[in-house]
Amino acid sequence: MLRRFVALLCALFLSGLAAAATVNVFHTSDTHGFYFPRKINGKNIGGFSALKAFLQQQKDPYLLLDGGDFTSGTYEAKQSNGNLSVQFMNKLGYAAATIGNHENDFGKANLLKNMDSANFDILAANMHDTVEKDLVKQVKPFKTYMVNGKKIAVIGLAKEFSTKADGIRISGERKALKKALYQARLQNPDAVILLTHSSLKDDKHTDEYSNLSLIKGLEGINVVLGGHAHKVFQNVYKDGVLFVESGTALTHVSRITLEFDDETGKFKSARSEFIELDADKYPQDPYIQEFAEANRAKYMDKPIGKASQTIYNYAPKNAGYVDSPMGNLFADLVKKHTGADIGLQNTGGVRETLNKGDITTRMIYQTFPFPNKLYVVKVKGDFLKKLVLRSLKENKSLFQYSGLEVKYRFKHKRPEIVSIKVNGEELDPQKTYVIGTNDHIAKGGSEGYMFKKITDKSLYSKKTITELFADWVKANPAGIKPAKNGRIVKVD
């Protein structure tokens, strides 16, 4: 009798522990094929082996999720058509990922192959096959996972592809989310996570496209894990929902801790932590490190030139201008190479800072990761003025220019142009100007959407912008240095 009583007490005690459980969720996004650690501020940071070593230190069960853009962005990723990323993620034990806009960079066949190779779930409620219904049968709108005694529902939302995939449609996020949320809640989950490749604040779009507007008025979502904009958001709460974003390039991982009420077992709160993947603090996992080194293209790490100064891909804070040294440098190269009136490069297309010292081919591929080619586009001055205006943010420009100088101010939270000069002369609204830029922008991709209406455009060079920049670095053995700043100036 006594034994039965003790057993009953133990059962009640253990059930109480389950009710009071916390659940850890780890989130990465926009890893873009950064498989290996890199020197950042004197430390070895990032990479899958460091992430694996960190995860091995966790004593409690966890859920590992990725927010998309995992297949494309580095040389090794490109050489494997993105499949090497999937292999790494399989080895780390990801539970699920959603689909980013760059997952189709290597074509539909490779997209389907990569999804089929994944040992983790592909969650994308808004991804549909319009030709053969079974091609994306492995894609689920949501899935529930049992973690530490709690049922966690994860809903995925994909992002529209940067390159077209015939027969695959990415539909509206809001409608798909409402349907998936209804279905997920029928399973009575203890918490609901939205895993999306959209951001809480994407500078390329207005707030109407943000994750906040996406879930407005929808009940039952506890955490939104975002991406795409390469921003970091931690412990941002809106109407009781936690919004988290984890940056890019696998330098960090976010830990989201879900807490449940001791008595009722119901969801109580969530908090997040942004953890640097210090490869010295979390020594590289030997198994993953061996796999990484076996797949590293070592010739990519040989110096081909040098930088005589550090060339930043962002404008220093409080500098008085918002153009970046690296963006200006490349825009100058585009202008000179094409002979155009203006060189234009999208700010988001320049991904890395080049530190003073040796420059390797890998560093160039990481700075310009996508195989864009040069185009020349003819536009009227009034179009150019509208393009510049719509690209201006309070302390940022979506484009970097050569041959163009802009002064602007912010009035009532809106940009207002003070002056635009083209090669030293005031912009003429009726004059035709030639712009040299990359094909992603010229064809109307992302922040270059205004170029969709322009028909007078043509391919200038079959070389990619990555190859163009590499050739230029090799041609300057004395070292490259930052270009002149102060081309986009915010005034009072």
Place of tokens 């879930």: 215
Q: Distance (Å, rounded) from C-alpha 388 to C-alpha 404? A: 10
Question: From the CB of residue 80, how many other CB atoms can be counted at a distance below 10 Å?
Answer: 18
Amino acid at 263: E
- The answer to whether residues 128 and 171 touch, using CB atoms and an 8 Å cutoff, is yes
pLDDT, one tens digit for every residue, the chain (492 residues): 444 444 444 444 444 444 458 999 999 999 999 999 998 888 999 999 999 999 999 999 999 999 999 999 999 999 999 999 999 999 999 999 999 999 999 998 999 999 999 999 999 999 988 776 655 667 999 999 999 999 999 999 999 998 888 889 898 899 999 999 999 999 999 999 999 999 999 877 665 569 999 999 999 999 999 999 999 999 999 999 999 999 999 999 999 999 999 899 999 999 999 999 999 999 889 999 999 999 999 999 999 999 999 999 999 888 889 999 999 999 999 999 999 999 999 999 999 999 999 999 999 999 999 889 999 999 999 999 999 999 998 889 999 999 999 999 998 889 999 999 999 999 999 999 999 999 999 999 889 999 999 999 999 999 999 999 999 999 999 999 999 999 999 998
**How many Å is the Cα radius of gyration of the chain?**
24
**Predicted local distance difference test score (pLDDT) of residue 317:** 84
CA nearest to 313, candidates 278, 345, 277? 345
What is the 3-class SS of 191-255, one letter each residue? EEEEEECCCCCCCCCCHHHCHHHHHCCCCCCCEEEECCCCCEEEEEEECCEEEEEECCCCCEEEE
Question: What is the reported pLDDT for 465?
Answer: 96
Cα gap 361→452, rounded to integer Å: 33
SS3 282: coil
Pairing of β 38-40 and β 43-45? antiparallel
Distance CA 444, CA 34 (A): 27
**Secondary structure (3-state) at 408:** strand
Alpha carbon dihedral 308, 313, 314, 315, in 10-degree steps, equals: 40
Contact 194, 215 (CB under 8 A): yes
The strands making up 267-276's β-sheet, listed across from edge to edge, are: 139-140, 121-123, 96-97, 62-66, 22-28, 252-260, 267-276
Token readout for 208 is: 């109407």
Given this model, what pLDDT does residue 405 score?
Answer: 98
Task: Tell me what pLDDT residue 35 has.
Answer: 97
- Give the closest residue to 246 by CA, choosing from 316, 199, 193, 284: 199
Owner of token pair 């490259």: 480
